[in-house]
Amino acid sequence: MEYLRRILLRFLRLEHQARRNLLLPLFDADNLVINMRQSGNAMGCGFSVDAFDWLIQQLGQRGEVLPPFVFGPNPVLTQYATNFHRLGWYPIQCPVVFETKAGAQMSRKDTVDKTLIDFGTAMLPIFIRAGLTHLVLGSGDEDFVQFARWAIRLGLKLIVVAGSRKSLSAAGFLQKLACIEGGKRQVIFLDSFYDK
């Protein structure tokens, strides 16, 4: 909770300065890492610190970027813990749970999406009161469409980050919700790092 207090105090100091865009990244680590592995280029290794440094620089051109919160199951967060620490990101562990279905069959359930949405639902109103202008949602997952619509209704602009162009769902609903600034829809593809 100490890190939340520090972020909120930082917001309050910024309120008294000239008004600037404030961006809060919420990243689905599992989604981004899996899609980076499947992109078929140099990102095949999964998590690239250089690619994520580039991403934060890209976001920094749009305003002040608050330290990202990255959500994932323990194996992903553990595997990349050193990288997240180096980047100054706040990892939030999302357990894998097992549910019993009809016929006593156990089923594995990922809680990343639910945990990210619950965190965002609880925290975005607080961040908005402190001056947040943009939500940066790191996932191409359609499960976040309702959450993204809710954030937009609260007055936030949405920036979508996806691992690759292939990773956005075929319908592209999340991409369509991204705000338009400078005549461009605000969608950033991590595979663009390797195209530069």
What is the Cα–Cα distance from 172 to 185, expressed in whole angstroms?
A: 12
Query: CA 148 to CA 137: how far, in whole Å?
Result: 8
List strand residue ranges (DSSP E) for the chain, in order. Answer: 22-28, 64-65, 69-72, 90-93, 96-101, 105-110, 134-138, 157-162, 180-181, 184-185, 187-189
Task: Report pLDDT for 174.
Answer: 85
Distance CA 158, CA 99 (A): 33
Q: What is the pTM of this model?
A: 0.83
Percentages helix, strand, coil for the chain, rounded to the nearest 5?
50, 25, 25
Query: Two tokens at 119?
Result: 């965190």
Domain assignment of residue 5, yes or no: no
Write the pLDDT tens digit of every residue in 180-193: 988 889 988 887 77
Q: What is the pLDDT of residue 120?
A: 95
* 35 inside domain: yes
pLDDT at 31: 82
* Residue 179: φ, ψ to 5°: -70, 160
Does residue 13 fall inside a structural domain?
no
Question: Could you tell me the two tokens for 7?
Answer: 């972020």
Whether residue 8 lies inside any domain: the answer is no
Domain contains 7: no
Q: Is the C-alpha dihedral spanning 134, 138, 139, 143 positive or negative?
A: negative
Judge whether residue 124 has pLDDT over 70. yes
Give the pLDDT confidence score for residue 132 in this predicted structure: 94
Condensed to tens digits (0 to 9), the pLDDT of residues 133-182 reads 999 999 877 889 999 999 999 999 999 998 777 766 654 788 889 999 88
Tell me the pLDDT band of 36, cut-offs 50, 70 and 90: low
Residue 29, pLDDT score: 87
**Confidence class of residue 43 from pLDDT cuts 50, 70 and 90?**
very low
The total domain count for the chain is 1
* pLDDT tens profile 60-114: 999 999 999 999 998 888 888 888 888 889 999 998 888 777 666 677 788 999 9
- pLDDT tens-digit readout, 8-21: 666 656 554 555 89
Residue 182 is assigned to a structural domain of this protein: yes
Domain that includes residue 155, residue range: 21-195
**190: in domain:** yes
**Model pLDDT, residue 3:** 65
Residue 12 lies in a domain: no
Report whether 134 contacts 177 (CB < 8 A): no
CATH number of domain containing 127:
3.40.50.1010
What integer pLDDT is reported at residue 44 of this predicted model? Answer: 47
